[in-house]
Structure 1
């Protein structure tokens, strides 16, 4: 499999999941000009023009974090409970983060008016409060075992710094613990991201 990524972008969640799942992968970086490291046109691989994109061994290309993360879990048999409510809570959390958090980061990654940024901050604060409540006293978002929801949550929390919001104590502690995981350290190293 080939993961097309941009360093530190949301594709980091998929990168961490691939490592945690123990699946073999190749990384190919994307430039701002929509070119791959080997100078191919990324739009010919993913017409949407953004990462992540996961090219499967048969040449099919999957996009969108919730789909790619679910594929990694299904392919590896890891990172997603096989049955029960924990499975559905993991998938529910992925959808929530994609729609209510990731989408509300747009004003902070582009040149939006301050009024739009403030509106997004209010939505993000509410969403983070809900995630904080969901985590409760558990080790991970959905329980005691790491799931694909945690891989995405890590990136969501990492990207929160751009919004100027402070994380709750529980979410900050969780983020700090996740940074110590070998999979996260490896992904940071492979993407040449600063570890601090």
Structure 2
């Protein structure tokens, strides 16, 4: 497999999932501003949308959209427990949280905050209205739980820890939500998470 990624973007969740499940992959950094890889190749030949992540599978199939890629990676290593088996109700809970993070946290909040083309009124709404509602919802769910789904780390947790990494760069003080701040701190100590985040921080610093 080959993962096309941008450091500390949503593709980080897939790197975490690969490390958690001890799967090997090639990693190809994409410069999103130019839509080219670090080697100069046109990334749009892999993903015409120009977004990360994209995963080139062993059979040559190309998979895009982070939520789909995360489930694919998890299903390749069922013993890792990164996703409940298909058909179990817990699998739909996983999909519920993956979609919530993608649509409500990633896109509606952080995409809005980081996109320079978004009007200031929309940014203010995202920061002052949308974000608190979503963080309160997540806090309520995680108040007495270690993980989003069941009793073990899943790809939904990999996606959420990735999204919460954007709080500080987005000017959001995560300490306003102690449950999330504590949960995030614990997840960052997981060996696979620490490895993935450390590697991508180094890449960002070197850019």
Once residues 189 and 73 of structure 2 are traced to their aligned partners in structure 1, the CA distance between those partners, rounded to angstroms, is 22
**Matching of residue 103 in structure 1 with residue 107 in structure 2:** yes
Once residues 68 and 10 of structure 1 are traced to their aligned partners in structure 2, the CA distance between those partners, rounded to angstroms, is 11
In the superposition, the TM-score normalised over structure 2's length comes to 0.88
User: What is aligned with 2:148?
Assistant: 141
What pairs with 1:105-184 in structure 2 (closer than 5 Å)?
105-111=110-116, 112-121=118-127, 122-167=129-174, 168-184=177-193
User: What is aligned with 2:7?
Assistant: 7
Structure 1 stretches lacking a partner, 5+ long: none
Once residues 56 and 184 of structure 1 are traced to their aligned partners in structure 2, the CA distance between those partners, rounded to angstroms, is 23
What is the SS of the residue equivalent to 2:146? coil
What is the SS of the residue equivalent to 2:40? coil
How far off is 1:69 after superposition? 0.5
Cα shift readout 1:4-31 (whole Å, capped 9, x = no counterpart)? 0111111000110011011111111011
Once residues 153 and 3 of structure 1 are traced to their aligned partners in structure 2, the CA distance between those partners, rounded to angstroms, is 19
Q: Is the 8 A contact 1:101 1:124 kept in 2?
A: yes
Once residues 41 and 97 of structure 1 are traced to their aligned partners in structure 2, the CA distance between those partners, rounded to angstroms, is 29
User: What is aligned with 1:88?
Assistant: 92
How far off is 1:193 after superposition? 5.5
Cα shift readout 1:79-122 (whole Å, capped 9, x = no counterpart)? 01225433221110000111111112222212233211111121
How far off is 1:123 after superposition? 1.1
How far off is 1:159 after superposition? 1.1
Number of aligned residue pairs: give it: 195
**Matching of residue 44 in structure 1 with residue 45 in structure 2:** yes
How far off is 1:40 after superposition? 1.0
In the superposition, the TM-score normalised over structure 1's length comes to 0.92
How far off is 1:46 after superposition? 0.4
**Higher mean C-alpha displacement, 157-166 vs 111-120:** 157-166
Q: Is the 8 A contact 1:11 1:51 kept in 2?
A: yes
Question: CA 1:193/1:133 → structure 2, altered by over 3 Å: closer, same or farther?
Answer: farther
Q: Is the 8 A contact 1:42 1:49 kept in 2?
A: yes
Structure 2 stretches lacking a partner, 5+ long: none
**Higher mean C-alpha displacement, 107-116 vs 11-20:** 107-116
How far off is 1:35 after superposition? 1.0
